Copies of this chain bind each other. A is one copy, B any other.
Amino acid sequence: MTAYVVGGGMIKMGRHHDSSYVGLAAPAVLEALAVAGISLSEVGSVACGHSFGGPLVGQRIMSRLGGGHVPVTNIDNACSSGGTALRTAIQDVESGRVDIALAIGVDSLTQFGKGTLPLPEADIETESGLVMPALYAMRARRFLHERGATVSDLAAVSVKNRKHGSINPYAQFSSEVTEEQVLSSRPVADPLTLLQCCPTGDGAAATIVVSEAVRRRLGGPAVKVIASVLHSGEYEGGYRDMLSPQISAASAKDAYEMAGVGPEDIDMVELHDAFTIAELVYYETLGLCEQGEAVPFLRSGATTYGGSVVVNPSGGLLSRGHPVGATGMAQVVEAFWQLTKQAGPRQVEGATMAMTHVTGGGIAGLDHGACSIHILESA
């Protein structure tokens, strides 16, 4: 059976120090329901993706909104929690078990103060003292070495995504930055500077996933799910090619197969640009350009407005922020808005097919981790 996204909602990401998980998520859920034209009592199941909310976040949200009783499953797949929650909601609908599923992504990182994310203690890389910015910096170093690229090429990703984000009212950062500002910002892990790292913050997003029958009854804007993929990774000892993230590559391959489309069919992508280097690597991994061509691809303007595939029209993690469990869901809400022509000044002209991509754990999924990719099409 086919599943459709018929509603999406999101709050402005940022530092909401005084908000509980219920407070963050409730407006996003209510907006998604209103957009879909569905009441809370019609929801048949709930999948809630979050990493740091403690017990029964989804149940607390539903209870406070007055929509208890339904099966609620809380899902933690680190940075892929939002994407995994969407997949669970899609599976609920595709299996015929329910006609209307609610998927929520929410997290609050300001509860931890500032700094990088806590990593799993038993992760072999964490055991070696490697935190996320350090891992991505190693990857960036390798990239510069192999490709003869420069730090200016890295900075160009921030310049592009902050420009996209500057017209996104839901983004944590709403200002543009120049290459000079990016490169002269505080060093975090050489060659990555502060403005090349996504901010931590709080946020929430929600989508409504329905069956073909419900979609026809509602008759409003809808987006068809043509691929929904989740992968984990294996530990690989010895030499590992940091520029070929196995887990994202495998997920992309499966997603294209499932959808019966190729990278050339995709009009816009929301991908996991936790750091500038990540976007360049994923251009190649997701097949948006040839291996080794990421820098000229970016420099050509292909991935901004007017290009062949607009990457992170929302501004991506670098602008919107990265409230872990919320990110994958926010990407899908952006894709829903774009494919239903509701993206306002951020509208990607003529967009009919979108990909969303989140990945987390280990060194961006070379080791154990979780990657979730969805492909969506205008319905």
Taking Cβ atoms with an 8 Å cutoff, the residues of A that contact B are 20-22, 46, 51, 54-60, 62-64, 66-78, 84, 87-88, 91-92, 94-97, 118-123, 229-235, 250, 360-361, 367-370
B95→A56 contact, CB < 8 A: no
Residue of B nearest to A63 (CB): B368
Contacts of A21 in B (CB 8 A): 122
B69→A122 contact, CB < 8 A: no
A74→B73 contact, CB < 8 A: no
Q: List 25 A-B contacts (CB under 8 A).
A: A20-B121, A21-B122, A55-B76, A55-B360, A55-B361, A56-B78, A57-B120, A59-B233, A59-B369, A62-B368, A63-B234, A63-B367, A63-B368, A64-B235, A68-B232, A69-B232, A71-B87, A71-B230, A72-B230, A72-B232, A73-B84, A73-B88, A73-B230, A75-B75, A75-B76
A59→B20 contact, CB < 8 A: no
Which among A78, A367, A370 has the greatest number of chain B C-beta atoms within 10 A? A370
CA of A232 to CA of B44 in the docked complex: distance in angstroms?
A: 12
A56→B234 contact, CB < 8 A: no
**CB contact under 8 A between A369 and B122, given known A68-B234, A70-B232, A232-B68:** no
CA of A71 to CA of B63 in the docked complex: distance in angstroms?
A: 29
Residue of B nearest to A70 (CB): B232
How distant is A55 from chain B, measured CB to nearest CB, in Å? Answer: 4
Contacts of A73 in B (CB 8 A): 75, 77, 84, 88, 230
A77→B76 contact, CB < 8 A: no
How distant is A49 from chain B, measured CB to nearest CB, in Å? Answer: 10
CA of A140 to CA of B12 in the docked complex: distance in angstroms?
A: 46
CA of A235 to CA of B22 in the docked complex: distance in angstroms?
A: 14
Contacts of A368 in B (CB 8 A): 56, 59-60, 62-64, 68
A370→B56 contact, CB < 8 A: yes
**CB contact under 8 A between A370 and B60, given known A21-B122, A54-B121, A95-B91:** no
CA of A69 to CA of B314 in the docked complex: distance in angstroms?
A: 30
A232→B63 contact, CB < 8 A: yes
**CB contact under 8 A between A62 and B232, given known A56-B77, A77-B72, A120-B54:** yes
How distant is A316 from chain B, measured CB to nearest CB, in Å? Answer: 21
Residue of B nearest to A368 (CB): B63
A233→B63 contact, CB < 8 A: yes
CA of A231 to CA of B250 in the docked complex: distance in angstroms?
A: 35
Q: Which one of B63, B69, B87, B118 contacts A231 once the chains associate, using CB atoms below 8 Å?
A: B69
Contacts of A55 in B (CB 8 A): 51, 76, 78, 118-120, 360-361
CA of A51 to CA of B56 in the docked complex: distance in angstroms?
A: 10
Q: Which one of B54, B71, B87, B118 contacts A54 once the chains associate, using CB atoms below 8 Å?
A: B118
CA of A56 to CA of B40 in the docked complex: distance in angstroms?
A: 31
Contacts of A123 in B (CB 8 A): 56, 60
B118→A360 contact, CB < 8 A: no
CA of A92 to CA of B94 in the docked complex: distance in angstroms?
A: 11
How distant is A185 from chain B, measured CB to nearest CB, in Å? Answer: 28
Contacts of A75 in B (CB 8 A): 73-76
Which among A73, A77, A120, A369 has the greatest number of chain B C-beta atoms within 10 A? A73
Residue of B nearest to A80 (CB): B56
**CB contact under 8 A between A76 and B78, given known A56-B120, A56-B370, A121-B54:** no
Contacts of A121 in B (CB 8 A): 20, 54
